[in-house]
Structure 1
Amino acid sequence: MGNACNGCFQKEIISDGNNTGQPSSKPIINFEEIEETKSPKGAGRKSKPKIAAVTWQKVKEVNEAVTAVISARPKSSEDINMILNALNSHFILRNLDEDSQRHIIDQMKHFSVNSGEIITQQGFPGKYFFVLATGRLEVIVNGIRQNVLKPGTGFGELALLDDKPRTATVKSAQKSTLWGVDRLTFKQAVEAVNRMNYEENKLFINSVPIFEILTSQQKEALLASITTQKWDNRQAIVKEGEVGDLFYIIKEGVVLCTKEGVEIRQMIKGDFFGEQALLYNSKRTATITCVGAVKVLCIGRGSLLEALGENLQQVIYRNIQKKAIEKSEPLKNLTKEQSQKMMDAMKIAKFSSGEVVVSKNSLQGSKLCIIMKGRVRGPLGVYETFSCIGDDKISQTSEQNNPENYIAETDADIAQISKEEFERCLGVGGIAPATNNNAALAVLKQVQLLRNLPKDRLKALLQVLRTVDFRDREAIVQENETGDTLYIVKTGKVSIFKDNTNVRTLTMHDYFGERSILFNERRSATVVAEGNVTCWTLEKNDFESIIDFSMRTQLLKRIELQDNTIMLDQLVMIKPLGKGMFGNVYLMTHKEKGAFYAMKTVPRSKIVAYNIHESLVLERKILLQLDHTMIVKLVKTFKDSKRIYFLMEYVRGIDLFDVLRQLGLLKEDDARFYTACLVVILEYLHKRDIIYRDLKPENIMIDEEGYPKLIDFGIAKIVNGRSYTTVGTPHYMAPEVIMGNGYNSAVDWWSLGIMIYEFVFGTVPFGENEEDTYKVYERVIEHNLIFPTNIKHTTHLKSIITQLLSVKGASRTGGSISKLKKHKFLAGFKWEVMFSRGISPPYVPKLRSLTSEAAKAFKSKKNFLDTILRDEISVETPIHAGKSKSSVPMNWDIEF
């Protein structure tokens, strides 16, 4: 819910694409905890208010043209042309594709009004876009007539995006007729067309053989690179002998394929041509001519290079290598980094049919081959694409030659690497020790206490693991004894006994005793070997030699946040943190442990009134997936007959919006630090198919150590494919969100580009001086990206901003997040040191202790539920809010 804070930050909702309402946006920071700062407000940075997000929650009903007679009258060709001209006079509507425009026109209804009737009213939320068909309308602002509208004029277009109050009253000066469409119908119409096109285009892409090996993410990038072209009868789409770089899929119509003037065949919907142009930029081998009107999907080599980060041939080859490694028993357990190094070191060689690929005069296992294209015959049969040759021998030392030659049966492309280069990539002397260590590392990553450690610390722990063998029935640990060792079962199985009762069995790669490396606790159970058992062990002394005090403190904090046994009656309220439209947030402390939490409360009356139960369920689902040191953590949810509760990590600090006002224009090194942190946060979310959709300084807390923490997941969404909802904060909103054409996680990278610009130049690049949402949207769509000349900046900074603010969403990461991390602006950034919090941040808040406030709260012994109830009573639910109680299903909160 974007209504009350996650952590100690709170903001309110203004509106959404379907609804109305414009509550104020007021972030709540615990200023009584933040020491006075004597530094001036940031020089060179404009002072501006915090801006709330556009969301989808229902706030109130909107009515316009209430006296009009509305009908679904058929439209003449003149009506259609008039409406089309009106659509093309407004930036939002003229940027829609022709199919969307036609679909919207189909949905428009006929309005008839008598003279003197109100169409729209100044100060009231908007709902409709109108086109005046006949008659005359007056535009009145503050009671004074400002303009007269004539037939063919469109007005009220901002209402199609959100429900901001109308800036003028429109009144009929005589009997008039209009064509109108409301926001919900408009959005549904645009979504229907774009969703249908997306799904159809996806089917086309999946039917093309050269795209089969692409990953789902790469196919999404490819889909985002598609353009649509229309061709007329007898037009030649491609001509024989021309050099081509475009690939085509027929979406509608028929084409004729001719070679040297001779007809070869006809092609219809779903057929494709020009695939060699994507791979090799080769000459066209035939002429393709339209038979009647034809619509094609078009993909260019340049667009694919931007979207994928490499040319299509390289991407295909890399994907084949990955798939071959996954299929190979000896290679499949290599880490991502090991596989990457090996693939980077492999060289692609071309072999003609009949040529020797691996000689019988060479030693067995002297090189590893992966077949990228074609077939190879060896002593054990035929090897085809995705097959490895030599993977079973390359880690062995052999003095024997291959028994026979491996010969190409067809022209073949082979990726090759020598034994020496292979072992250098692994860095551990072979596959066996490498995969053995990989298994142990994978388990360490699963240990709850260790999962947030950076990779370099986990790898360091790996080096101090010992291997210990246990005999059948041997007790590995004893209940109630003091422990100092973590055990990971390498082979065999063990039984867990509590009070002499067998409670469960652990097998390979299970672990036990993890708390002993952090706490001086007695063992809670006895563990006995069932048969011969081998364990990896991690001793407390070794652990403490690798994990420094700061990191250990972080681990202890995370452990507190993983305690889901907390009950409401174990908490004491210290004070309110924030009040929102839908709920409130309070600072809480645990009666026994003294740990601090932020608790968000949402009364059931508001849930029913605003119909927000689905949003709460989604927010909980998303938050439960997240466990990252730079993302606010949900500890637990509660419910009772009065309300729903979210018990959250309490983030002590100040939001980045206010930090930027203190720091002024950031130096590039400081901007690089915040950028790198946000890249890591977004990478974590996107791997889980979560789009944040409202990235901006207000939603990032700078914690007590100066590191960012992402808060407020009220409008985040889990998306497989595309979303169409208009949500976010206008100045940070990607153009595809505004247009409603469908979008994916690329919108978050756009928002990051806006933020980097703001870090360094002190303003947002589009609509900085605009308060009117419509004008902000217009500036975003115009995309006039200008860099100030009076502020020094490097070409690398300008490059990453330009890349992230590409109108092509697929181009923003340069092909992948790993490629984005290698951008020259981020080159050399110490990622692992950042994970260890070893980089000094640009700003560290000075915070006062909460001890005295906590002590006062303990003494008061007030029932915090009474305080919550008083706060809820003080804010009435508007009569016009939301839907009826019947729209909220029974047991919607069953998982809370």
Structure 2
Amino acid sequence: MQERLQTASACLHRLDRHFFSPDHRQPAVMEKQLEDLKQQLEKQCLINKELQRQNKNLELSSRSSNEIEVEFRKSRAAVIASEPIPETLQITRTKVKKTVSETGLIVKAIQKNDFLSRLDDEQITMMVDLLVVSNLKPGDEVIKEGTEGDSMYIVAEGKLDVTQAGRNLRTLSIGDVFGELAILYNCKRTATVKAKTAVRLWCMERQTYRAIITNKSKKKREQLMGFLKTSPTLKDLNDVQLSKIIDSMEEVKYQDKDVIVQEGTEGNSFYIILKGEVLVTKNVNGQQKHIRKMVKGEHFGEQALIREVLRTATCTADGPVTCFSIDKEVFEETIPTEHLELFDDSKVMQEGQAPQKSSPSATLGFKDLVPVFYQEGRYQGDPVTLGIGGFGRVELMTTLQHRKYYAMKKVSKNHIVSKRQEEHMLFEKKILKAIQCDFIVRLHAAFKDTRYIYMLMEFCSGGEIWTKLKEVGRFEEPIAVFCTACVVEAFAYLHKKNIMYRDLKPENLMMDLKGYVKLIDFGFAKELVRGEKTYSFVGTPEYIAPEIIKNQGHDFAVDFWSLGILTFELLAGSPPFSSTEPQRIYSKILDGVLKYPPYMSEAAKSIISKLCRPRPGQRLGNTKNGIKDVRHHRWFSSMNWHKLRMGQLDAPTIRLIRKARNYVAFQLLKAPLCSPAAF
């Protein structure tokens, strides 16, 4: 490389000498030499660029395959608030008959689509059956940019133009899939799609797709529960414990003649047959004697879960076989085999909790509140805005009597109704009024008038974690440990009360004056009975757990997944699965490949990988010891949990709180306000 650079330098020197030195030779000769030198130089420059590119690639490839540089996230994460769905979804569409060639085209389109390709054969068959046909003329608009959609499409015939802000993006033709994000939730269309020629489309609405996926997941879960209940070894377990086992099991496939377990080897896995047949044979005098044939629903290897045993027979796939399997190590993490009951975390929760204090705002009325206004600058005279979210604005309020400050969340009733979020809003108010936890923002009062709902919240003067993260790029490890520990305590409190949070991200974390971190915004929280599942599609794309994307039903395990994603983002400045396109985010989440930046510690990588396990039953915090396992992970080795709960630690986050203009020093101006009824 150095030699080539020296050659290029010599070429330049010769060019300079020939160009600037007096020469009495013929001009034609000089011009030819000059042209030759230029060509040599251009060629050398191209060679140098290629060498530099190769060198850069070598540097990149020399890094560990799971270590990358992460770009800092620059914008706030989008929020998904899908409409609520009934517990039982009925498929109202009738099947549409299709020819063999039409079926083949649809199946091929689904299989080449990054997201839909993950459906199983039965789900694909149901999709093929329920897709309906739509015919369009040239110029007809299928999708309009900025509108909300509820359907996906597969092109059967013709061509369509895709434009964004009037700019041509691409042309769709036979076999192309578009609009598929709309079958997950009610998102805004990002482009316009118009028929360029006469077009024939296959279409599916969101409710039909969700019914297909949800009903299949529920049916499979009920089936597995029934299979487990027939196991003599597991007969004393309750439904909650059996549900945890199902969450920890993996689907494995075998080809004809594959040996699943070998007689005489150490047993460490338990299997349920989902599809196919398994031959059981035993060695008798050197010959394999046929014992029996097992079919769908039967299970084997259960003794291996609770004691050290050798396999007493050989089990071989007779044709293609699909099993659900759990190994001994995972089973022991899930169920305490010595007494077969789940770990009770209540003693840990009670230890060292600070006494509850009565709030001076217990009898606070709306008429007692006045807004705080900006005293100077471009917003002088306007109310101080603390934040603007997907469902409303948060403004700073005070009382003249107590001289206390509050955050007032103001949400339009029309917005709530149009987005069908009444249930979420009422539940948010209900749980916040009942919560008494130092790691969760307090709700002091709630009011309403004809247009708005008002929620008077605790004012966290330390600011938003998202803003601080954006300012510094990424957090030092002690700060990330402290922030995450505060979230762990909030989750421990909520989960003990059977409440899932479901929207963890830096934007929903605030700091108080001491730098302690508190959860805010409970719009997606949900109460859930242990052992049950819910099937709604809610959250923030980068933080959504795989089981939500797959519509398999989810529970408290999604909070531990999001805790792993938060840990990664605090340390790296960006979540591990990100893209400008939500479909790509979901595909990356389902792929589950975590790539860590080189500066991340081994302990951090360890806790993230354990929290972000694809199977919810295997996640740290969701196994037999519950959240205690999270607290005891080595990444938290420096954390004194008792002192944290008592508020006796010096928060390292305090250095993030800059001494900006103090809200308390602002001039307080009275403003005429209506007096809404108590909400």
- TM-score, normalising length: structure 1: 0.58
Shift of the 253–48 alpha-carbon distance from structure 1 to 2, 3 Å rule, reads closer
Task: Give the drift of 1:740.
Answer: 2.6
Aligned partner letter, 2:637: A
From 591, 600, 606, the counterpart of 1:799: 606
Match of 2:643 in 1: 833
Contact kept in structure 1, 2:572 and 2:597, CA below 8 Å: yes
Shift of the 300–703 alpha-carbon distance from structure 1 to 2, 3 Å rule, reads same
Match of 1:317 in 2: 338
Shift of the 268–805 alpha-carbon distance from structure 1 to 2, 3 Å rule, reads closer
Shift of the 49–188 alpha-carbon distance from structure 1 to 2, 3 Å rule, reads same
Contact kept in structure 2, 1:560 and 1:595, CA below 8 Å: no
From 653, 656, 659, the counterpart of 2:462: 653
Are 1:742 and 2:553 an aligned pair?
yes
Task: Give the drift of 1:730.
Answer: 1.8
**1:196-207 correspondence to structure 2 within 5 Å:** 196-207=219-230
**1:288-687 correspondence to structure 2 within 5 Å:** 288=315, 296-304=323-331, 308=334, 315-319=336-340, 336=347, 455=352, 558-560=357-359, 564-574=362-372, 576=383, 577=385, 578=387, 582-590=391-399, 592-639=401-448, 643-687=452-496
Task: Give the drift of 1:71.
Answer: 9.1
Aligned residues: CA RMSD: 3.7
**1:9-88 correspondence to structure 2 within 5 Å:** 46=72, 48-56=74-82, 73-88=96-111
From 559, 572, 580, the counterpart of 1:761: 572
Aligned partner letter, 1:797: A
Shift of the 703–335 alpha-carbon distance from structure 1 to 2, 3 Å rule, reads closer
Query: Matched residues in 1 for 2:137 and 2:462: separation?
Result: 59
Task: Give the drift of 1:119.
Answer: 2.9
Are 1:114 and 2:118 an aligned pair?
no
2:112 is paired with a residue whose SS is coil
Match of 2:562 in 1: 751
Shift of the 110–708 alpha-carbon distance from structure 1 to 2, 3 Å rule, reads same
Deviation sequence 1:281-335 (CA, Å, 0-9, x none): 6333234567887654322335435x53xxx6xx210546989xxxxxxxxxx99
**1:233-244 correspondence to structure 2 within 5 Å:** 238=261, 240-244=263-267
1:94 is paired with a residue whose SS is helix
Query: Matched residues in 2 for 1:185 and 1:642: separation?
Result: 34
Contact kept in structure 1, 2:233 and 2:303, CA below 8 Å: no
1:221 is paired with a residue whose SS is helix
Contact kept in structure 2, 1:659 and 1:843, CA below 8 Å: no
Contact kept in structure 1, 2:475 and 2:570, CA below 8 Å: yes
Contact kept in structure 1, 2:249 and 2:324, CA below 8 Å: yes
Query: Matched residues in 1 for 2:601 and 2:235: separation?
Result: 40
Contact kept in structure 2, 1:138 and 1:149, CA below 8 Å: yes
Match of 1:813 in 2: 620
Query: Matched residues in 2 for 1:141 and 1:603: separation?
Result: 30
Task: Give the drift of 1:138.
Answer: 4.5
Shift of the 825–293 alpha-carbon distance from structure 1 to 2, 3 Å rule, reads closer
Aligned partner letter, 1:84: V
1:91 is paired with a residue whose SS is coil
2:102 is paired with a residue whose SS is helix
Query: Matched residues in 1 for 2:144 and 2:388: separation?
Result: 31
1:131 is paired with a residue whose SS is strand
> Which is worse superposed, 601-610 or 779-788?
601-610
**1:161-310 correspondence to structure 2 within 5 Å:** 161-214=184-237, 218-229=241-252, 238=261, 240-251=263-274, 257=280, 259=282, 260=284, 269-280=296-307, 282-288=309-315, 296-304=323-331, 308=334
Shift of the 706–737 alpha-carbon distance from structure 1 to 2, 3 Å rule, reads same
From 532, 539, 542, the counterpart of 1:728: 539
Aligned partner letter, 2:484: T
Task: Give the drift of 1:830.
Answer: 0.8
Shift of the 49–168 alpha-carbon distance from structure 1 to 2, 3 Å rule, reads closer
Query: Matched residues in 2 for 1:669 and 1:132: separation?
Result: 53
Contact kept in structure 1, 2:83 and 2:185, CA below 8 Å: no
Task: Give the drift of 1:656.
Answer: 0.5
Query: Matched residues in 1 for 2:473 and 2:184: separation?
Result: 33
Query: Matched residues in 2 for 1:322 and 1:727: separation?
Result: 29
Aligned partner letter, 1:738: I
Query: Matched residues in 2 for 1:828 and 1:606: separation?
Result: 45
Contact kept in structure 2, 1:90 and 1:157, CA below 8 Å: no
Aligned partner letter, 1:184: Q
Task: Give the drift of 1:624.
Answer: 3.0
Aligned partner letter, 1:567: G
Equivalenced residues, count = 579
Match of 2:115 in 1: 92
2:634 is paired with a residue whose SS is coil
Shift of the 203–619 alpha-carbon distance from structure 1 to 2, 3 Å rule, reads farther
2:444 is paired with a residue whose SS is strand
Task: Give the drift of 1:167.
Answer: 5.0
Task: Give the drift of 1:631.
Answer: 0.2
Deviation sequence 1:41-63 (CA, Å, 0-9, x none): xxx983612223111259xxxxx
Aligned partner letter, 2:603: H
Query: Matched residues in 2 for 1:148 and 1:682: separation?
Result: 47
User: Which structure 1 segments of 5+ residues have no match?
Assistant: 1-43, 59-69, 324-333, 338-441, 446-453, 459-554, 869-892
Aligned partner letter, 1:730: P
Aligned partner letter, 1:841: A
Deviation sequence 1:97-153 (CA, Å, 0-9, x none): 333222322321122233443333455444332222234444456667665544333
Match of 1:776 in 2: 585
1:864 is paired with a residue whose SS is coil
Task: Give the drift of 1:685.
Answer: 1.7
Query: Matched residues in 2 for 1:99 and 1:195: separation?
Result: 14
Task: Give the drift of 1:171.
Answer: 3.7
1:81 is paired with a residue whose SS is helix
Query: Matched residues in 1 for 2:274 and 2:597: separation?
Result: 44
Query: Matched residues in 1 for 2:307 and 2:115: separation?
Result: 38
Match of 2:523 in 1: 714
Deviation sequence 1:649-675 (CA, Å, 0-9, x none): 222221001222344433322222122
Query: Matched residues in 2 for 1:144 and 1:182: separation?
Result: 27
> Which is worse superposed, 736-745 or 285-294?
285-294
Query: Matched residues in 1 for 2:342 and 2:393: separation?
Result: 53
Deviation sequence 1:187-225 (CA, Å, 0-9, x none): 232112112222332333344343345576654432122
Percent of aligned positions that are identical: 32
1:785 is paired with a residue whose SS is coil
Match of 1:699 in 2: 508
Shift of the 847–221 alpha-carbon distance from structure 1 to 2, 3 Å rule, reads farther
1:636 is paired with a residue whose SS is strand
2:233 is paired with a residue whose SS is helix
Shift of the 73–667 alpha-carbon distance from structure 1 to 2, 3 Å rule, reads closer
1:181 is paired with a residue whose SS is strand
Shift of the 618–206 alpha-carbon distance from structure 1 to 2, 3 Å rule, reads farther
Task: Give the drift of 1:629.
Answer: 0.6
Query: Matched residues in 2 for 1:47 and 1:242: separation?
Result: 50
Deviation sequence 1:538-570 (CA, Å, 0-9, x none): xxxxxxxxxxxxxxxxx6xx4216x54333344
Query: Matched residues in 2 for 1:285 and 1:71: separation?
Result: 50
**1:151-170 correspondence to structure 2 within 5 Å:** 151-170=174-193
Match of 1:489 in 2: none
Deviation sequence 1:683-703 (CA, Å, 0-9, x none): 222222222222111110011
1:74 is paired with a residue whose SS is coil
Structure showing the higher helix proportion among its residues: 2
Shift of the 584–269 alpha-carbon distance from structure 1 to 2, 3 Å rule, reads same
Task: Give the drift of 1:712.
Answer: 0.6
